Structure 1
């Protein structure tokens, strides 16, 4: 179990590397810029 200090504001599927992840530490990021440029989908 890990402590956290955040609130989940939105959730859903990321279907493309350019899909946006909103409000991480006050900023929006594309999936590829947040977790790396060599994303291949699906992530499972």
Structure 2
């Protein structure tokens, strides 16, 4: 699995949004949700 790069996802360190990078763990979870949508579906059940 390639390393997670927060800048590729909303809220990443390089994001221009004011809420950029509130917590690295949250960013990793967002990245995992984008990479593995099935995991997000399982968590929502």
Larger radius of gyration: 1
Structure whose residues are more often helix by fraction: 2
* Same fold at TM > 0.5: no
The one of the two structures with greater contact order (alpha-carbon pairs below 8 A, sep at least 6) is 1
Task: Tell me the TM-score normalised to structure 2 length.
Answer: 0.21
TM-score, normalized by length of structure 1? 0.21
